[in-house]
Chain A
Amino acid sequence: MRHLCEFRDRGLTISLATELDRIVDRPIRFMEVCGTHTMAIFRHGLRSLLPEDLHLISGPGCPVCVTPTGHIDAFIRIACMPGVTVATFGDLVRVPGTNGSLARARSQGARIEVVYSPIDALNLAEQRPKDLVVFPAIGFEATIPGVAATILEARRRKIQNFAVFPAHKLMPPALEALMSQSCFEIQGLLCPGHVSTIIGANAYRFLSMRYYLPCVIAGFEPADIIQALILLTRQVRYGRAEVENAYPRAVRWEGNARAQGLMQEVFEPVDSEWRGMGIIPRSGLAIQPGFSEFDITKRLDIEIPQVQGPKGCRCGEILIGQCMPSDCPLFATVCTPLDPVGPCMVSAEGTCAAYYRYGRHH
């Protein structure tokens, strides 16, 4: 693939890894925030190329994983209502709620369709005028503008049997919440590439200024990731704390103004519950009152139950880097991709799934 193969070049990757190995001269802990980074690191076998002293911990960047159990239960409850079709991203289908998953509900007759984008869900609503099609809107800034555009499109096309369950999360408030925990010790942040295309590199400046944390925005190819780790390590070595953009082919400092505008037109920030992190101020989005006809929580008066996560499951701590999958007693014994207990084992981007699938080679 052109435009990708140069970032997957073996010679380049190995020489970058050699340079990284040369400059890591002390134990260092970095966090990769984004689930797609976690996946890419495992998929390309990059851990086997990294210096032993460099510890990468995964952050709260898997959308399915940070969605609390109460939301999953609410999605399942809606899917079981007569006349409703839930059109969802595939990752959500197998996530366990308190009792079963959307997959289980589907096997018992609930109408659940896997879609690849929110506009597919809107098109489904147009094709099935007698159904109410509900799209559970999970994900970070990278997916939010698409959902906003879909709501605007629904209004333009006058489609009334379409609604969204707003469950989006915003990355900067979560990073702030992480950094303000006294026990949280990392020396640098590998910032997400996709999210940054929307919010821009400037969005991380508060981390370098207020918390003196080195931040580097990285793409998703092997050379991108190792290059970003080199930049982070250099900052640590030279005592700097800056935001650097190592993904300039996709990310601008100011982000994507049009996408930001779409988000603001349709959504407004609200306090939001994250799995493992509790309620974080202004870290989620509600649908603006002017678009409330597309808000399923208003339309059907849905209450989101406050429930505990699965017993024994440490997904919450894994999500914030406080423990590794191997520290969880359920990992790879009771909790496997075949029979997942927590969301981190379900999503392709989940830390436990990545460790299970790719990481057990020692």
Chain B
Amino acid sequence: MHGLCGGDLRCLLSLWETPLKNKTILLEHGSGGLASQELISRLFLTHLGNPVLSSLEDSAIIETSIGRLAFSTDSYTVDPIFFPGGDIGLLAVHGTINDIAMRGARPLCLSLGVILEEGLLISDLENVVLSIKEASEKAGVPVVTGDTKVVPKGKGDKVFINTSGIGIVPDGINISVKEARPGDIIMLSGTIADHGVAILTRRAGISIQGDLKSDTMALHRLVQLLVETLPEAVHTLRDPTRGGIATAFNEIAKTAGVGMDIEESKIPIRPEVEAACELLGLDPLYLASEGKFLALIAPEYAAQALDMIRLQPEGRDAAIIGKVTKDPSGRVVLKTAVGGARLVESLSGEPLPRIC
């Protein structure tokens, strides 16, 4: 196991060099892990790449004569559409708002596109729309344009939603994955894996004692407070959705060419989520959150930022979980709770339970 790959660079190069063998789209292409990254790099960026798109940030920053705009889009296909702690409507509003907030931008408005499957109960759709209303009103980000399409039964799955959003980046704020630098403190705004576990246990029909529910939540107010009070503190923000914090760490480390040291024992996780992961054989580092961010903070501001985040309801479980290092570049090292050390890689395949 010594220097097997000659560093991740060679692995990445081999990824680029081998022809796209998969002739059909597989489910894992939507996992948010390595297969998704490969599809995006090899297909979309090859044909559509430009400096803004190819930066692969949570939202794009567009320079205009009136200032910088953040622009983002996301589609939602979650099954089941109603789940403990939320539904597809809440997720669609929060997800796009959060993607905009991850550049430090203040979200202005959303678009809403829905693709409905013939046979969907209109009352179910109404409940989804009511959730969208509730979420957008609470966030202060209205839906200003929309579109509806219906596909024959069996050609979709109840309802798919796309939302796009626009936000304004305050002057002087430059939050980007590329801004990560050695010495930065890695902060997590709360517990991990809540959303992933809520969905997987519901899908598996497993009921576990305790309150397993999605953490779907808008984070723009927390981010706004942070960047207004400590404008120079935040270098990078990322919301660890599909692929979990493990994949988010790796994306940052590889893009910024830095290393990361993470303390497993500092990562906040709810006991019932940990128990469910043990039972299903899942690694919570790879499961989605929908209401948390990872923040890379300049060390001199870390204590102040943590205190501030913890005072807000969205961030009361926030914790410092590690730091950015110079070496090993592009690698994420986890100091395990029992005192060992290991590498953390991006998600590959779908997160699936073990069989014995």
- A residues near B (Cβ < 8 Å) are 1, 4, 8-10, 13-14, 17, 35-36, 39, 42-49, 63-64, 89-91, 93-94, 103-104, 106-108, 114, 116, 120, 138-140, 142-143, 194-195, 222-223, 324-326, 331-334, 336-339, 346-349, 355-362
Contact = CB atoms under 8 A, between A and B. Distances in A.
Given A10-B338, A362-B3, A89 B355 contact: yes
B348 interface: yes
B14 interface: yes
A358 B353 CA distance: 18
A63 B28 contact: no
Nearest to B348: A337
Nearest to A142: B356
Contact of A338 (B34, B265, B281, B344): B34
Contact of A91 (B15, B38, B354): B354
B297 interface: no
Size class of B's contact patch?
35 or more
Contacts of A332: 4-5, 11
Interface stretch (B143-151, B171-179, B270-278): B270-278
Interface string B333-355: 11111111111110011101111
B213 to A, nearest CB: 19
A49 B340 contact: yes
A107 B354 CA distance: 22
Interface string B1-31: 1111100001100110010011011111000
B280 interface: yes
Interface of B: 1-5, 10-11, 14-15, 18, 21-22, 24-28, 34-35, 38, 204-206, 265, 271, 274-275, 278, 280-281, 283, 331, 333-345, 348-350, 352-356
A44 B356 contact: no
B338 A46 contact: yes
Contact of A90 (B5, B14, B342, B352): B352
A93 B352 contact: yes
B1 A326 contact: yes
Contacts of B15: 336, 338
B192 to A, nearest CB: 15
A63 B352 contact: no
Contact of A337 (B34, B278, B352): B34
Contacts of B335: 45
Given A8-B337, A91-B355, A349-B354, A361 B27 contact: no
B354 A360 contact: no
A196 to B, nearest CB: 12
Contacts of A108: 24
A360 to B, nearest CB: 6
A39 to B, nearest CB: 8
Q: Please name the 5 residue pairs, one residue from A and one from B, whose CB atoms are nearest each other, closest first.
A: A45-B340, A90-B352, A337-B348, A45-B336, A45-B342
A48 B352 contact: no
Contacts of A138: 355
Nearest to A226: B338
Given A45-B334, A331-B4, A1 B278 contact: yes
Given A10-B337, A359-B342, 12 more contacts: A1-B271, A4-B278, A10-B338, A42-B342, A45-B341, A47-B342, A93-B352, A325-B1, A337-B349, A358-B343, A359-B1, A360-B5
Nearest to B35: A338
Given A4-B278, A348-B281, A355 B1 contact: yes
A94 B275 CA distance: 26
A90 B343 contact: no
Nearest to B200: A116
Contacts of B337: 8, 10, 44
B9 to A, nearest CB: 12
A8 B22 CA distance: 41
A361 B355 contact: no
Contacts of B338: 8-10, 13-14, 44-46, 49, 222-223
Contacts of A338: 15, 34-35, 38, 348-349
Contacts of A90: 350, 352-353, 355
A2 to B, nearest CB: 9
Contacts of A356: 345
Contacts of A4: 278
A64 B355 contact: yes
B100 to A, nearest CB: 30
A44 B336 contact: yes
B1 A360 contact: yes
B205 A46 contact: no
A144 B192 CA distance: 34
Contact of B11 (A36, A336, A348): A336
